[in-house]
Amino acid sequence: MSDRILNAELKRKVMSAAEAAEFVQHGDNVGVSGFTGAGYPKALPSAIAERAQAAHAKGEDFKINLFTGASTADAADGVLANAGAINFRAPYNSDRTLRAQFNDGTAFYSDIHLSHLGQQVQQGFFGRMNVAILECVRINEDGTVVPSSAVGNNVEYADAADKIILEVNTWQSEGLVGMHDVYAPEKLWERTPIPIVNVGDRIGDPFHRIDVSKVVAVVETDAPDRNSPFKEPDEVSKKIAANFLQFLEDEVAAGRLSYDNYVMQSGVGNVPNAVMAGLLDSKFENITAYTEVIQDGMLDLIDAGKMTVASATSFSLSPDAAVRMNDRADFYAQHIILRPQAISNHPEVIRRVGLIASNGLIEADIYGNVNSTNVAGTRIMNGIGGSGDFTRNAYISSFVTPSVAKGGAISAIVPFAAHIDHTEHDAMVFVTEYGYADLRGLAPRQRAEKMIAIAHPDYRPLLEEYVAAANAKGGHTPHDLTKAFEFHTRFLDTGTMLK
């Protein structure tokens, strides 16, 4: 047995994943740890999938309703989806098999803001939470638990669950100890303010206090997180990043931002990587991040003394960066805080700290409405994630995107977004490789001009043609509803949005 299980009572609960999976029944609501490929349980999902397959082989039903922090990995969502063992899932998923099941209607997905789900589970919106399965780095002598590389909804799921199963993963570095700040808001109707005033404030415990009497099993694992290699930003990403940084510079020039104490939030991917690389060489100092995910670029900014604190709910590091982090865990623990996602994404704190949000998108329309989730309005990709939490409550909200996708067959700017996740009331600034469109203070007709100016040149004439047809119909938000989705229907018919 590993030396990471220090509580005597819980030592006696150690068993195999197969044994532990017996605590999970068909129809159960199961809440698991895990966020963006980090900190998900590594053993139980396979064991549950095997139970499901055995049941299916006997002609019996076996499906669970799976609640996570955000995306997990093949070893969690993947194995369960492949076994046909998921009936319902929330929130945010990046597993391909499960995505296909959502899209063909064989599994059900509810796309909920990441800051909302924990409370909704606690309040019983989904019925009882039967089992919580939480990965951890260590179980302390007093029965408190050190979460692993993500905190996610662990607090709410453990609180709501009838039974708790702990996975103690010795692959996870003990260097994580001390990085967590586990704070549970009071229950509804008894709440007090969340006392975070500065991004770096620690307000909770470096461990998770669970009800030890609810733990039915402890399982030992040694498997790695789904860490993806870092991709060097491509030329388009670098141009988008340069335009985003130009926007920041222009805000400083306008007196609305300072080189000191820029508070960033950032989605994950090529463009954010390029932005962080650009910040390394910028005039911005004492940068902080109040965001969901700690990324490679933040370690670089911390190393360079540019970033003082990064607060998030999970890690999403390349294997190289994970090694760097573990080698200097004591140093990084002074600069990194992992919080529950209810806190990392909480409107209260986001609004207070005055951050600039920067997220990706599938498409935006000429009036600034954003589709983050459903390709051509119908096929779900991953989900809204935390983009709503940050976009709505940011000091300034921005979206960064290449102007086209699929080699030019898809325009990121369309007449009417075929699914809307962020409304014209929330999205302020859009950035492509062709510049930025600052929509603040503009009426819809004025916004269309700005948005078309940052569209790909091949699409500008088509967008202008639409605007002419729409303006002929009139209205505050001009549209010709017979043509509003022509970009999308042309793509579906011909494989390209171009004429």
Which of 61, 446, 461, 494 binds a second copy (CB under 8 A)? It is 446
Positive or negative torsion for Cα 267, 430, 116, 346 = positive
Specify the pairing of strand 129-139 against strand 145-147.
Answer: antiparallel
CB under 8 Å to 425, separation ≥6 — which residues?
none
Nearer to a second copy, 7 or 393 (CB): 393
Q: Is 400 annotated as a binding residue?
A: no
Comparing CB distances to a second copy, the nearer of 195 and 224 is: 195
* 14 in Cβ contact with 5 (< 8 Å): yes
What is each CA distance from 117 to 56, 114, 133, 193, in whole angstroms? 30, 6, 16, 19
- Decide if residue 256 touches a second copy (CB under 8 A): yes
Among 123, 228, 334, 494, binds a second copy (CB under 8 A): 123
Nearer to a second copy by C-beta: 165 or 484?
484
182 annotated to a ligand binding site: no
Determine which residue in the list 473, 494, 495, 499 makes contact with a second copy, applying CB under 8 A.
473
Active-site residue, from 167, 220, 251, 292: 292
Minimum distance, C-beta of residue 403 to a second copy, in the bound complex (Å): 22
Site for a second copy in 265-304 (CB under 8 A): none
Task: Name which position in 54, 304, 323, 443 contacts a second copy (CB under 8 A).
Answer: 443
Q: Which stretch binds a second copy (CB under 8 A): 19-27, 69-77, 208-216, 478-486?
A: 478-486
Q: Which of 175, 269, 377, 408 binds a second copy (CB under 8 A)?
A: 377
Nearer to a second copy, 426 or 433 (CB): 426
Catalytic-residue membership of 464 = no
Tokens of 321: 């960066």
CA distance 27 to 130: 9
Contacts of 223 (CB under 8 A, 6+ apart): 42, 43, 75, 169, 171
Among 102, 157, 247, 399, which residue sits at the site for a second copy (rule: CB under 8 A)? Answer: 102
- Distance of closest approach, residue 423 Cβ to a second copy, in angstroms: 6
Residue 88 Cβ vs a second copy, minimum distance, rounded to whole Å:
7
Span 7-36, contacts to a second copy by CB under 8 A: none
**Between residue 406 and residue 425, which ones bind a second copy under the rule CB under 8 A?**
418-425
**238 in contact with a second copy (CB under 8 A):** no
CB proximity list for 96: less than 8 A, separation 6 or greater: none
Query: Is 429 marked as binding a ligand?
Result: no
Contact region for a second copy (CB under 8 A) — 175-183, 206-214, 303-311, 368-376?
368-376
Q: Which parts of 70-89 interact with a second copy (CB under 8 A)?
A: 88
Q: Which of residues 320-349 bind a second copy (CB under 8 A)?
A: 346-348
Check whether 153 is labelled as a binding-site residue. no
Segment interacting with a second copy, rule: CB under 8 A, options 43-51, 54-62, 309-317, 387-395: 387-395
Cα 219 from Cα 6, distance rounded (Å): 14
Scanning 354-424, the segments in alpha helix (DSSP H) are 387-393
**382 labeled part of a ligand binding site:** yes
Q: Single out the segment in contact with a second copy by CB under 8 A; choices: 143-151, 309-317, 369-377, 460-468.
A: 369-377
Amino acid identity, residue 331?
Answer: F
Torsion angles phi and psi, residue 145, rounded to 5:
-125, 135
- Tell me which amino acid residue 375 is: V
Give the ranges where 58-125 is alpha helix by DSSP (H).
79-82, 96-104, 117-122
Closest Cα to residue 349, out of 209, 207, 248, 200? 200
**Interacting residues of 12 by C-beta distance below 8 A, sequence separation 6+:** none
Which C-beta is closer to a second copy: that of 54 or that of 443?
443
Contact 126, 1 (CB under 8 A): no
- Binding of a second copy at residue 252 (CB under 8 A)? no
Give the count of residues interacting with a second copy (CB under 8 A).
80
Q: Which part of the chain contacts a second copy (CB under 8 A), choosing from 147-155, 170-178, 256-264, 330-338?
A: 256-264
Q: Which of 260, 251, 341, 335 is nearest to 300 (CA)?
A: 335
Is 269 annotated to bind a ligand? Reply is yes
**Which residue in the block uniquely carries the two structure tokens 């082989």?**
57
Integer angstrom CA distances of residue 31 from 132, 221, 479: 5, 18, 43
Q: Which of 125, 231, 232, 234 is close enough to bind a second copy by CB under 8 A? A: 125
- Does 390 bind a second copy (CB under 8 A)? Our answer is no
Q: Are 348 and 193 in contact (CB under 8 A)?
A: yes
- Sign of the CA dihedral 148, 152, 155, 159? negative
Cβ neighbours of 350 (radius 10 Å): 25
Residue 164 assigned as binding residue: no
Alpha helix stretches (DSSP H) within 372-443 = 387-393
Q: 404: part of which helix (H) or strand (E)?
A: strand 404-405
The reply, when asked if residue 271 is annotated as ligand binding, is yes
229: contact with a second copy by CB under 8 A: no
Task: Tell whether residue 362 is among the known ligand binding residues.
Answer: yes
The least CB distance from residue 312 to a second copy, in Å, is: 20
Taking CB under 8 A as the rule, which mask of x and - marks residues 480-499 in contact with a second copy?
Answer: -xx-xx--xx--x-------
Q: What is the DSSP string of 416-453?
A: S-SS-SB-TTT--EEEETTEEEE-TT--HHHHHHHHHH
Q: Which segments are annotated as binding site?
A: 267-271, 362, 382, 386, 406
Indicate the annotated binding residues for CoA. 267-271, 362, 382, 386, 406
- Which residues are identified as catalytic? 292
